[in-house]
Structure 1
Amino acid sequence: MDLTSTALTVHEEGNLYYLTFPSFDRTGLVRHCFSTRRGGISQGYFASMNLGFGRGDHETCVLENYRRICYVVGIYAGDLVFSDQVHGDRILYVDQQDRGKGIVQPVEMEEVDGLITDRSQVALVTLYADCVPLYFLDPTKKVIGLAHSGWRGTVQEIGRKMVERFVGDFHSDPQDILAGIGPSIGPCCFEVGPEVVETFAQTFPAWIDDVVRMPAGKGKAHIDLWETNRKILERAGLLPDHITVTDICTTHRPEYFHSHRRSGGNRGSQAAILELR
């Protein structure tokens, strides 16, 4: 296996690979993963572990892929709860009555990019193919959250808004919260046009030199979504050593990850899954 990370733990179960955050594992409070494209049954450009419904893959294949990843992580697939991602900043509380929505029941959530719960056996799911997955766990209050943070979600600071939900709804102390910034497009590959640079400059003026790399000559600028989200979380009150930042770029590793940018949209999806035991 040549998929390695100094930040996340890589798990290999036969030909199925997934990743976890060591800080979350050490608590013993959650089951979680970020999937790869290895270990499923999908074919073509969905091969082989595609966890995205509605992209043209056979539903029976996607369901079997979920059965496989849930089995190795120790989660019952019927407990999964899906969001309805639109690159926004809406965060929804879910509980036991929402289990199965998106896999064995219709998705009822609309325009939701973040999920939060304090209930056990409610498995939160968000989907990815380059955008940034944000994982949250308050081991003191026993609250978890997942947020889908592409560049639009990042400039809307969905990570900060998740922390505010922890504090406002569950009286969390931000210094107790653990966060994980998962595999996604890295600063090496996230080229953007001047309008995106301007949006980041207006939103994060103090950080622009840290998160935007301006090229020499006529090349496009590169934005570091990992560092931007890390700074957002730290400014929201999280301790620096409670934030784990990925070192895996999904665009760079097509043999392990679906990438929207690399494939031009012909791709499957990875899933972030997080459940309180």
Structure 2
Amino acid sequence: MNWYYKDETLRAGFTTKDSTLAEQNNTALHVAKDEAAVRTNREALAKELNLPLANFVCANQTHSANVVKITSEHKGRGAFTNDDAIADTDAMYTCEDNIVLCTFTADCVPVIFYDRTKHLIGVIHSGWQGTVKEITRHTLNTIMADEQCNPADIVIHIGAALSQDKFEVDADVYHKFKALGYAEDFMYFNEPTGKYHIDNQRTVKKQCELVGVPTANIVLANACTFKDEDGFSYREDRSCGRHLHFIVQN
């Protein structure tokens, strides 16, 4: 496991691929070959956090732009089975303590954020479809409107994802990013292959900046899930596991 943040009141991090563990430390039930093994991997993380797995909250991610405010009533949803995961949701936030918000990725962009002044934390799953739907921008606008967050107080970590070098697409996806009106600097055309290459992480970072989050408040990981031996990459292996990115406050 790697940490994004760790102090007395806030912990955030992510699990990594580990060939010595069952399912290579996959933590996502929706791609599990052995669900019991995945629950064991999740229990190991819960033990590391000194919190029960029943405090975890997981969503059924659908590449949507949907955001849900999580409360204590949601504890345990999606933690032991996908059957009760938060439906059709790719972003969650909470203002309550000891709730472990989770998001799963294998090339998509994970966004972990918090606002200490509002005692608020959240997670976002932004695959390319979520990015062109501007899920990150929508989520941040939601907490600014509903929770009165000041963008200057929001701190964001954009985690490891598929690098621009490895994220090659056809013209249809390129035009969807171009239509955003601000992603042109994060794309290039490779003439020999006839493919476009897109930097999904930097596009998400721009979305954060467009709602007013200071650049100094945004940390951008430079690891590529395809190139990193500790990374799960769907583009490399369609049967791969998933990283679990989490944040919890107390």
Match of 1:196 in 2: 173
1:275 to 2:248 alignment? yes
2:150 corresponds, among 168, 173, 187, to: 173
- Report 1:105-120 matches (<5 A): 106-120=83-97
Q: CA–CA distance in 1 between the matches of 2:49 and 2:198? A: 33
Tell me how far 1:240 sits from its aligned partner.
0.5
Match of 2:72 in 1: 96
Tell me how far 1:184 sits from its aligned partner.
0.9
1:256 corresponds, among 192, 205, 230, to: 230
The answer to whether the Cα contact below 8 Å between 2:26 and 2:32 also exists between their aligned partners in 1 is no
**SS of alignment partner, residue 102 of structure 2:** strand
Match of 1:36 in 2: 16
The answer to whether the Cα contact below 8 Å between 2:58 and 2:103 also exists between their aligned partners in 1 is yes
Tell me how far 1:20 sits from its aligned partner.
2.2
The answer to whether the Cα contact below 8 Å between 2:32 and 2:38 also exists between their aligned partners in 1 is no
Tell me how far 1:176 sits from its aligned partner.
0.3
Q: CA–CA distance in 2 between the matches of 1:108 and 1:183? A: 24
1:25 to 2:25 alignment? no
The answer to whether the Cα contact below 8 Å between 1:183 and 1:247 also exists between their aligned partners in 2 is yes
Tell me how far 1:108 sits from its aligned partner.
4.8
Match of 1:63 in 2: 39
The verdict on how the C-alpha distance between 1:161 and 1:40 changes in structure 2, with shifts beyond 3 A counting, is farther
2:199 corresponds, among 208, 224, 236, to: 224
- Report 1:84-163 matches (<5 A): 84-104=60-80, 106-163=83-140
Q: CA–CA distance in 2 between the matches of 1:188 and 1:217? A: 14
TM-score (normalised: structure 2): 0.94
- The aligned amino acid for 1:25 is K
Long gaps (5+) in structure 2: none
**SS of alignment partner, residue 160 of structure 2:** coil
The answer to whether the Cα contact below 8 Å between 1:133 and 1:148 also exists between their aligned partners in 2 is yes
Q: CA–CA distance in 1 between the matches of 2:20 and 2:214? A: 37
**SS of alignment partner, residue 260 of structure 1:** coil
Long gaps (5+) in structure 1: 1-17
The verdict on how the C-alpha distance between 1:108 and 1:260 changes in structure 2, with shifts beyond 3 A counting, is closer
- The aligned amino acid for 1:199 is K
1:131-156 C-alpha deviation (Å, 9 max, x unpaired): 00011100111101101000011111
1:86-133 C-alpha deviation (Å, 9 max, x unpaired): 001000111111111112464252210111100001111111111000
Aligned length: 249
2:217 corresponds, among 242, 267, 270, to: 242
Q: CA–CA distance in 1 between the matches of 2:18 and 2:189? A: 35
Tell me how far 1:218 sits from its aligned partner.
3.6
Tell me how far 1:220 sits from its aligned partner.
1.2
Q: CA–CA distance in 2 between the matches of 1:79 and 1:92? A: 16
**Identity across matched positions, percent:** 26
The verdict on how the C-alpha distance between 1:59 and 1:218 changes in structure 2, with shifts beyond 3 A counting, is closer
Structure 1 vs Structure 2 CA RMSD: 1.6
The verdict on how the C-alpha distance between 1:233 and 1:31 changes in structure 2, with shifts beyond 3 A counting, is same
Q: CA–CA distance in 2 between the matches of 1:243 and 1:74? A: 28
**SS of alignment partner, residue 84 of structure 2:** coil
Tell me how far 1:40 sits from its aligned partner.
6.5
**SS of alignment partner, residue 144 of structure 2:** helix
Q: CA–CA distance in 2 between the matches of 1:218 and 1:80? A: 43
Q: CA–CA distance in 2 between the matches of 1:145 and 1:39? A: 29
The answer to whether the Cα contact below 8 Å between 1:31 and 1:74 also exists between their aligned partners in 2 is no
